[in-house]
Structure 1
Amino acid sequence: MPLAMAATMAFLPGTAAALSSDVVISAVYGGGGNSTATIKNDFIELANLTGSPIDVSGWSVQYASAAGAVFQMTSLTGSIPAHGRYLVQQAAGAGGTLSLPAPDATGSVPMSATSGVVALVTAQIPLVGCGISCAIAPNVKDLVGYGATANVETLAAPGGTNSTALARSGSLTDTDNNSVDFTSGVPKATNTAGVTVTATDTGGPTDPTPGSTRIHDIQGSGRISPIVGQSVTNVPGIVTAVRTTGSSRGFWFQDPTADADPLTSEGLFVFTGSTSPTVVPGDSVLVTGRVTEYRPAAGAQSLTEIGGPVNTVKLTGGNALPAPVTVAFPDAFTKSGSLEAQPLEPGSYVLDFLEVNEGMRVTVAQDTRLISPVNTEFDELWVTLKPGQNPTPRGGTIYKSYADQNSGRLFIQALGGAPAANVGSTLAAGTVGVVDYQSFGGYVVQATELGTITEGGLKRQKVLPPKKAGDLSVATYNVENLAATNPDAKFQRLAQAVVTNLGSPDILALEEIQDNNGATNDGTVAANETVGKFITAIQAAGGPAYAWRSIDPVNGADGGEPGGNIRQVFLYNPLRTTFVDKAGGDATTAVTVVRERPTSNQINLSASPGRINPASGAWSSSRKPLVGEFLYDGNKQLFVIANHFNSKGGDYPLTAAVQPPVRSSEVQRTQQATEVHDFVNDLETKSAGRARVVVLGDLNDYQFSPVLQTLTGNGAILKTLIDTLPEDQRYSYVFDGNSQVLDHILVSPAIKGYSYGVVHINAEFSDQASDHDPQIVRILTGCDTDPLPARCLPGSPVVDE
């Protein structure tokens, strides 16, 4: 390193004392009225980042040259509207044709176009004696040093020109690093009235002309743009689609003239934030802005885009759109390792095929099958381009292992809306859209044209009546944040499912029962109104008068929707089974297994209902298992453990930038599985293997996961009943187009005769009462002998309606 460079680096100023979270300098322009300038005056623009007006009376903006120590001050008056701007007009030059909007404050300071220092000060006292550390001087709220100056926040912003201004990037966040916070672009000024003037003509020819950078130059031949962070000017293309809803609004445009490199995409997204774009498909445009890589979630790949401040010039309208590329997926989903560090191989890997077409128009040229129901709230659906790949009997695609990501899956979002349709329906050829990347599903075709959907006629399922009166049915059902404040219609639908589809099980373990006022976060933890309303709805649907047991959690300690205090609840039919009550169970007391006598194999619970080791860190911000003792069929003892393990929140998506994806949430679920395993093992040990135990609930993990292997002791102490079904029927939930298992029923070896099934009534249907399908096990009477009678052999009680 040259000595001069080392000396310069050694004296770089530190970060400012505090980040500004309310008012910041949002733009600086010193080229007003100069040669090639369009706007006549220099200006400084401020922005209010908050939702309330801010009074700036008594404040000032102050300017100094790049090398100078003397600041010239302009006093401020009035206030800045909520999320609004404030315009300070400065000296005029001899040129320019465009006046600023009515300024909110006026000064006469001649600012440099290329280098200088601007400070926002909460006093009207000139800055003196702060040298090159004015960013941390008293009363300085924000400071921008640009060009060749050392008086900066961390590092200087780019230098300006007569035809470019410095503007704070993106969401206006202040990081106290001018080089990061500011980019150079077309001058744009807004006053407190919201009037904006933009220098769309920067003094060049009357008709704007394309710049030297093309879309394929921005996209490059890898996943990350080779010019990320750089500003680009007048990038040409044809608008192919627009997004006018949500907080990620913008448009896609595509260069109709492709280069010779098949690895460089010719399409790109232009991010306009919460402002809807004014262009329409078919417009020929020139786009100026900054190249960014937007990573929508932890571990996700990034989307290359042009971000703010963005200037778009429309040249002509009604142009033909570039021909779409036909979507054709290779066999393999992705390679291993860091995808961003490896070359693209679109002929070998699905994720590489989608990346090289990022932002481009594509078409689905074949009829496809829906492998998820249409989510009509977000107009989303998944189809399979490989109809023979791991199909379920009902039209989905089964998720078999971490190593098999089902490479035929394609995510589609219909920009114009999508009709309700269920798994197994047909999407006719002809869908056209652009390739995007989102946080949840990864690569997605934003469809401007959606093929016709033909419903497949999928039927909901129900449980057959028991063959013997002594059979005991036990079910699990995640009722998705059920609260007393929910509409009656939700209670009625769930209740009808309990009666009609589940056949009014004798014991029903419910997950996601919320407290009486749902998401209202006021300290309420009781759920008696929620459960009572559900029981009443079940009776109205023709079901039994269920009794119930549960334990209220500590407020805010069990995760889930804030304020909801979700917990597990046992409903049971007192005409079919008896709940063995034993006092002492509460939110913080651990239930234990107790022998009746030291030499006896007869066991009981220390409390019923009780919770498993609630003080353990395994249950931090997560639901604690609910344990209860029941009697059935002539005083046979049954222990039921209802669970709701922590969610997969925080795991990397299947399309993650590093493969295989990180499953960080699995660590806590494994700890939870260990707690339940140890409790069941205690039941087994103290009963000499005679304890009848059912472990059930939403375990938030797959039958092949380390979590389930830990819980079951690799099958030694519990049997995973989903594994008794044919492989193509092992699912209770649909996510990212994969039919998969999150809910489980497990039984101890002492339960020998049973029938079991998943009752498909929700996950495959657009119209859902919950996003989970319930499961049921029927413990068959007279099945305690070896060999088992024929009726005791495993089977399924579930049929189509």
Structure 2
Amino acid sequence: MPSKKSARLAALTVAALSAASTVVLVSPAHAAAVSIHDIQGATRISPYAGQKVTDVAGIVTGVRTYGSSKGFWIQDPNPDADPATSEGVFVFTSSAPKVAVGDAVTVTGTVSEYVPGGTSSGNQSVTEITKPTVTVVSSGNAVPAATVIDARSVPAAYVPAGDSAAGNSINGLALEPKKYALDFYESLEGMNVQVKDVRVVGATDPYTELWVTVKPRENATRRGGTLYGSYDSQNTGRLQIQSLGATSAFPVANVGDVLTGSTTGPLDFNQFGGYTLVAGEIGTLKSAGLARETTQKQKNGELAVATYNVENLDPTDATFEEHASAIVNNLKSPDIVSLEEIQDNNGAKDDGTTAADVTVTKLIDAIVAAGGPKYDWRSIDPANDTDGGEPGGNIRQVFLFNPERVSFTDRAGGDATTAVGVTKVHGKAQLTASPGRIAPTDEAWKSSRKPLAGEFVFRGRTVFVIANHFNSKGGDFGLTSATQPVPRSSEIQRHQQATLVNAFVKDILDTQKNADVIALGDINDFEFSDTAKILEGDGELWSAIKSLPRSERYTYDYQGNQQVLDQILVSPSIRRGCDFAYDSVHINSEFNDQISDHDPQVLRFKP
């Protein structure tokens, strides 16, 4: 998966430069004096979009002096009786505003619908007044009372289906704030809102933001998060929190912590998360003391196989000791580790380097220094700049294995572009190359990582392991998209990839019915997704994370949704023929000081 950091910075640059980030609507050039609720209207698009409005009155509730969206929010202290029409609006000034919270102002300017990230992002728009002329009428006024957002006020249904005649857009639909959560939030866009005593469900990130839930019982997980378990059951209580104050004062929170007291400020909508409470007042952090998990050590007769996305690891990173400690102490030194996102020897420098021996050796040495085994390793260097990820990084999967516990069957012939096959030798399945790559020239793997297949032997029994890193979800619309149901364009390629991997596994099982096969890695899709169903096929594989209770099925936390991206899938001989244990080892996704955005997974079984 491409770096979240690099993708986000790129998106911010595009958003700042893109002229397409404002919805252009044809409407009369001027409107008489109107109130804020008239501007907001009862749909997502202002009935005054494109018009100049005069002397719009309100009290300043928040001032944003940083970033590319400088401006302030105003709210009418005299609301109308329609719950669908917001009483607040953002005034975009482009430079630091010269107003203060509590100022009573009048604003003359042009109503605009701004789409954070540009229209191609699929995001909803924010109603704004642009090119403003601002008059301060008085100062020191009381700010309109904050509207409380809590479990009772947020509807259980997430969003209506979009208008099929308008490309499934929800923009033109009348808001029903008592029926749908996104309509409720939209009806408060720009208004002063408040949450109280809310649990953190997405740890503080490098961009000084976190996620909370106002519904503490909604799909709660054992460690304090909120589970994403179905496309049809969205978590309506999630809300992003940012701050109008200094970044140094922002709470550094982990999942399960609580923001006690009141967190209050305008309700905004942004590119990376949708509806966001931009706090002028933020609650006090109460730690839940969440600890990183540790799995059990495998027994002598058990084979431990793990997958771990180490997030663009290259020799310049400062996380080698921490990754090594995680593998040794938290994962208990698995016999085989599939690593994803190992970069080449000079990381993102795009000079044709594809070898990753320096990167891998540095990690192996750090593992030894942490008290772990001297792992051996196998991988195949990709062709330069062909496998996606951070430009120049040449990420790939790598097998680490403990030679004191398991051996690797080397069979020549595998390279970046040669497809591995399956043959029968003495009645047993055998790879034509080990390690080898599955159908590496197929279009399914364009700008994506090719699966790495290898043969291992544990106590005389061959185990086939396929390390995967499927196409990322980049390009998909967010859950708060203006298009509903949300398009998931990225899964088209993942379906093609899953089809190829399943066919390869089927070849092995058709050759040897009782073969032990493991397909694992960063699948970049949920255990309930069509991608997983295609991978599983007609029983060739089964995602072992489904052996866990539902509330423990997660490997990743995105926008306060704990979800599965990393999976270990097993063949019938492993699922039915022996005892196995599965563990999603939560050491990263719930923590603000994570060394990767993924939690590793471990499978222990007796071949």
1:17-166 matches, cutoff 5 A: none
Give the conservation status (yes or no) of the 8 Å contact 2:194–2:264.
Answer: yes
Distance in 1 separating the partners of 2:340 and 2:19: 40
Identity of aligned residues (%): 55
1:727 partnered with 2:554: no
Give the conservation status (yes or no) of the 8 Å contact 1:718–1:748.
Answer: yes
Corresponding letter in the other structure for 2:411: K
Give the conservation status (yes or no) of the 8 Å contact 1:211–1:236.
Answer: no
Distance in 1 separating the partners of 2:269 and 2:581: 44
Shift in CA distance, 172/422, structure 1 to aligned 2, threshold 3 Å: closer
Equivalent of 1:701 in 525, 536, 544: 525
Distance in 1 separating the partners of 2:223 and 2:528: 22
Corresponding letter in the other structure for 1:726: P
Equivalent of 2:99 in 279, 301, 304: 279
| Superposition RMSD in Å | 2.2
1:368 aligned residue? 198
Specify the SS of the correspondent of 1:290: strand
Give the conservation status (yes or no) of the 8 Å contact 1:721–1:744.
Answer: yes
1:770 partnered with 2:592: no
2:10 aligned residue? none
Instruction: State the Cα distance separating 1:410 from its structure 2 match.
Output: 2.0
Equivalent of 2:268 in 429, 436, 453: 436
2:362 aligned residue? 533
1:717 aligned residue? 540
Residues 422-455 of structure 1 deviation map (CA, whole Å, 9 limit, x = unaligned): 1111221311011111122111111111111100
1:616 aligned residue? 442
Distance in 1 separating the partners of 2:301 and 2:390: 39
1:224-239 matches, cutoff 5 A: 224-239=45-60
Distance in 1 separating the partners of 2:444 and 2:505: 16
Distance in 1 separating the partners of 2:61 and 2:317: 42
Instruction: State the Cα distance separating 1:172 from its structure 2 match.
Output: 9.8
Distance in 2 separating the partners of 1:780 and 1:602: 19
Equivalent of 1:291 in 92, 106, 111: 111
1:312 aligned residue? 134
Distance in 1 separating the partners of 2:440 and 2:208: 41
Distance in 2 separating the partners of 1:412 and 1:292: 25
Specify the SS of the correspondent of 2:604: strand
Instruction: State the Cα distance separating 1:217 from its structure 2 match.
Output: 1.9
Distance in 2 separating the partners of 1:771 and 1:228: 40
Equivalent of 1:460 in 292, 296, 308: 292
Specify the SS of the correspondent of 1:233: strand
Equivalent of 2:455 in 604, 626, 629: 629
1:4 aligned residue? none
Distance in 1 separating the partners of 2:98 and 2:314: 43
Distance in 2 separating the partners of 1:536 and 1:345: 59
Instruction: State the Cα distance separating 1:738 from its structure 2 match.
Output: 1.1
Equivalent of 1:331 in 149, 156, 162: 156
For normalisation by structure 2, the TM-score amounts to 0.91
Residues 755-783 of structure 1 deviation map (CA, whole Å, 9 limit, x = unaligned): 111111111111101111000011225xx
2:410 aligned residue? 581
Distance in 1 separating the partners of 2:320 and 2:140: 52
Distance in 2 separating the partners of 1:312 and 1:647: 45
Distance in 2 separating the partners of 1:554 and 1:247: 38
1:202 aligned residue? none
* Worse-matched range after superposition: 505-514 or 261-270: 261-270
Structure 2 regions of 5+ residues with no counterpart?
1-15, 163-168
Give the conservation status (yes or no) of the 8 Å contact 2:122–2:483.
Answer: yes
* Worse-matched range after superposition: 282-291 or 472-481: 282-291
1:257 aligned residue? 78
Shift in CA distance, 579/171, structure 1 to aligned 2, threshold 3 Å: closer
Distance in 1 separating the partners of 2:188 and 2:20: 34
Distance in 1 separating the partners of 2:68 and 2:364: 41
Give the conservation status (yes or no) of the 8 Å contact 1:485–1:516.
Answer: no
1:352 partnered with 2:175: no
Residues 664-709 of structure 1 deviation map (CA, whole Å, 9 limit, x = unaligned): 111110000001000000000011x121111100000001100000
Distance in 2 separating the partners of 1:595 and 1:692: 15
Query: Which protein shows a greater Rg?
Result: 1
Equivalent of 1:670 in 495, 502, 511: 495
Distance in 2 separating the partners of 1:542 and 1:226: 66
* Worse-matched range after superposition: 450-459 or 600-609: 600-609
Specify the SS of the correspondent of 1:710: helix
Corresponding letter in the other structure for 2:265: G
Instruction: State the Cα distance separating 1:314 from its structure 2 match.
Output: 2.7
Shift in CA distance, 522/724, structure 1 to aligned 2, threshold 3 Å: same
2:38 aligned residue? 217
Corresponding letter in the other structure for 1:276: A
Structure 1 regions of 5+ residues with no counterpart?
1-169, 186-209, 782-801
1:684 aligned residue? 509
Residues 236-257 of structure 1 deviation map (CA, whole Å, 9 limit, x = unaligned): 2221112222222221111222
2:219 aligned residue? 390
Corresponding letter in the other structure for 1:331: A
Distance in 2 separating the partners of 1:261 and 1:726: 44
Shift in CA distance, 184/350, structure 1 to aligned 2, threshold 3 Å: closer
Specify the SS of the correspondent of 2:499: helix
4+ long deviations beyond 4 Å: 170-175
Distance in 2 separating the partners of 1:486 and 1:312: 48
1:359-508 matches, cutoff 5 A: 359-364=190-195, 366-375=196-205, 377-416=206-245, 417=247, 418-467=250-299, 469-487=300-318, 490-508=319-337
For normalisation by structure 1, the TM-score amounts to 0.69
Return the structure number with greater helix share.
Answer: 2
Corresponding letter in the other structure for 2:83: P
Instruction: State the Cα distance separating 1:214 from its structure 2 match.
Output: 2.2
1:746 aligned residue? 569
Q: Of the two structures, which has the highest relative contact order with CA contacts closer than 8 Å and spacing of 6 or more?
A: 2
Corresponding letter in the other structure for 1:280: A
Distance in 2 separating the partners of 1:669 and 1:528: 29
Specify the SS of the correspondent of 1:570: strand
Instruction: State the Cα distance separating 1:278 from its structure 2 match.
Output: 2.6
Specify the SS of the correspondent of 1:461: coil
1:568 partnered with 2:392: no
* Worse-matched range after superposition: 407-416 or 617-626: 407-416
Instruction: State the Cα distance separating 1:369 from its structure 2 match.
Output: 1.5
Distance in 2 separating the partners of 1:171 and 1:299: 17
Distance in 2 separating the partners of 1:174 and 1:708: 36
Distance in 1 separating the partners of 2:198 and 2:251: 16
Instruction: State the Cα distance separating 1:370 from its structure 2 match.
Output: 1.4
Distance in 1 separating the partners of 2:18 and 2:214: 42
Corresponding letter in the other structure for 2:126: L
Instruction: State the Cα distance separating 1:211 from its structure 2 match.
Output: 6.8
Give the aligned length.
Answer: 572
Give the conservation status (yes or no) of the 8 Å contact 2:29–2:50.
Answer: no
Distance in 1 separating the partners of 2:18 and 2:452: 48
Equivalent of 1:605 in 408, 431, 435: 431
Specify the SS of the correspondent of 1:623: coil
